Amino acid sequence: MNARRYRQIIVGSIALFGALILAVWALNPQGEEAPLPEPVQSVFPLPGDTVVRQTAIEVDLPIGYSLDLDIDGVAIPQIEIGATPETGRYIWQPGPMKLFEIWESGDHTITIRWNRVSGGGPDPGEFTWKFRVT
């Protein structure tokens, strides 16, 4: 092979890689930021997101709130939810010795319920959203 052929292969490979990146971006859009109910400060993944199997559910609430989490209609035990009460951050991820060991491909429905446990009167609420695992 001569230098010209190598150059054509390299240019073709770069063009193919660029087309692949554009196709993934176009066919795999991220969810749009949805208005979250008060007092929920943030959730991840966002409603409508497409994520990988390693994804964790993350919820930020103000300090002084408790959280209950349901995944696809199944209540997650509190012991499985990583909670940092000092910051109001809650994280859950499937894994060994947990109710769900892995995310199955497809759509998943998350429901969170919260209530204020300190710093004022009760403030119960609920929010449900969906995301997709590839």
Give bridge partners of residue 26 from the DSSP assignment.
none
Is there a contact between 64 and 118 (Cβ–Cβ < 8 Å)?
yes
pLDDT averaged over every residue in the chain: 88
Contact in structure between 68 and 112 (CB atoms under 8 Å): yes
Look at residue 9 in the predicted model and tell me its pLDDT.
79
Where is average pLDDT lowest: 4-8, 47-51, 71-75?
4-8
pLDDT for res 4? 82
Q: Judge whether residue 74 has pLDDT over 70.
A: yes
Confidence of residue 77 (pLDDT cuts 50, 70, 90): very high
Predicted local confidence at residue 21, as pLDDT: 63
- Give me the pLDDT at residue 62, please: 96
The pLDDT of 104-131, averaged and rounded, is 95
The residue ranges of every structural domain in the chain are 1-29, 42-133
Distances (CA, A) of 111 to 6, 100, 127: 54, 16, 6
Residue 6 has pLDDT above 90, yes or no: no
Digit-coded pLDDT (tens) for 31-59: 555 689 999 999 999 999 999 999 999 99
**Surface-to-core class of residue 25, CB atoms within 10 Å of its CB (0-12 exposed, 13-18 middle, 19+ buried):** exposed
CATH 3.40.50.11540 for the 42-133 domain, yes or no: no
Q: Residue 123 has what pLDDT?
A: 93
Q: Do 111 and 76 touch, CB atoms closer than 8 A?
A: no
Place of tokens 């209540």: 75
pLDDT at 20 over 80: no
Paired sense of beta strands 125-133 and 106-116, if any = antiparallel
pLDDT of 19 > 70? The answer is no
Cα–Cα dist 4/66, whole Å: 65
CA angle 94, 100, 105 (to 5 degrees): 80
Answer whether 0.85 is exceeded by the pTM: no
